A and B are shown apart, each in its own frame.
Chain A
């Protein structure tokens, strides 16, 4: 493997927060999330020398990261998966009222996301990151129409999970 440490640092400088948020869609446990993040960084390190600019850098980074995360989730031991599904995260941090409310909204969103199937979670996180239907379609490798149908279904499922009065 070529030592592209500088290139990786640049990419993580640009997309690090995006990748960290992405891990929340796959893992609720902090240690498992950190482990997944390392796996993603490693996958990026290996993949970057092969990037020829066929798509936007963000698209490439997201593809590598989601693909790595999918493998991570498929191979996760059943016990870890069960624990993950059962886990409800409470935010113990004290703080001003609006900060607490924001934390509560975040936790409600994450809990609702984790009650959804992985495929729905994946497309929703892309949407929450602000990707357009066309960008999501490019990432998934499907038509824009198909991506919009999937997204609409996933949004409906998330809204149902959040429930009318529980919406942030």
Chain B
């Protein structure tokens, strides 16, 4: 073993000792006391409640669409109402199909190898970016179809135009904010992968 190797091994031993001492630097608790476990339980419960809220909201939207359909059909729907309902269900089906297709192969277990996890993180970010593009495209097509229908049936009133403009503002804002966040995430992931390989 050369003198240089011995020297480097000594340096690394010192570094390892310095690293091991980071744990003492904060007066670490080695075991998890019950208080910490309670705090974890509360955190898990908050996350669970958020997930339930999102699921409930999705079901409420779907139920709302069903109720709207029943109400319109029971009152003896006019031709424009039937076409409007059909397009609404059509767009809903397309959106649900896309959501299902776009989520495939993105589930990741927490305990997978680190490289696989980062690869999946990139795939998920790419899919979310695709969702942003899809939402914009779907909304644009929806606006064209709805405006054409309203104009055809002579119902393009200012209130309808204002509603469409408000929806456009909300959707475009969401797309811009989400796109910005995803671009940042992707550049971080790519920088990580560049440095790792």
Contacts and interface: CB of A to CB of B under 8 A. Distances in A.
A13 B30 contact: yes
Interface string B88-112: 0000000000000000000001111
A20 B21 CA distance: 11
Contact of B121 (A8, A70, A110): A70
Contact of A46 (B16, B110, B193): B110
Given A21-B20, A70-B114, A128 B15 contact: yes
B25 interface: yes
B22 interface: yes
B79 interface: no
Nearest to A43: B110
* B15, B25, B195, most chain A CB atoms within 10 A: B15
Contacts, number: 150
A122 B121 CA distance: 17
Contacts of B41: 5
B43 interface: yes
Given A9-B32, A119-B195, A141 B116 contact: yes
A73 interface: yes
Nearest to B188: A74
B29 A109 contact: no
Given A117-B192, A117-B195, A128-B15, A21 B111 contact: no
Interface residues of A, number: 63
A152 to B, nearest CB: 12
Interface residues of B, number: 49
A38 B115 contact: no
Contact of A105 (B14, B47, B188, B191): B14
B122 to A, nearest CB: 10
Contacts of B23: 17, 20-21
Tell me if A's interface is mostly helix, strand, loop or mixed: helix
Given A5-B37, A70-B117, A73-B188, A125 B43 contact: no
A67 interface: yes
A109 B15 contact: yes
A102 interface: yes
Contacts of B121: 70-71, 74
A90 interface: no
B185 A51 contact: no
B70 interface: no
Contacts of A68: 110
Interface in B8-28: 11-12, 14-23, 25-26, 28
Interface in A41-85: 41-47, 50-51, 60, 63-64, 66-68, 70-71, 73-75, 78
Interface of B: 11-12, 14-23, 25-26, 28-32, 36-37, 39-41, 43-44, 47-48, 109-118, 121, 184-185, 188-189, 191-193, 195-197
17 contacts: A17-B30, A20-B28, A24-B22, A42-B40, A47-B111, A63-B110, A71-B121, A74-B121, A102-B18, A103-B25, A105-B14, A109-B15, A119-B196, A142-B115, A155-B12, A159-B11, A167-B11
Given A70-B118, A119-B196, 15 more contacts: A8-B37, A16-B32, A21-B20, A45-B44, A46-B44, A46-B110, A47-B111, A51-B111, A63-B110, A64-B111, A70-B117, A75-B185, A117-B192, A117-B195, A118-B195
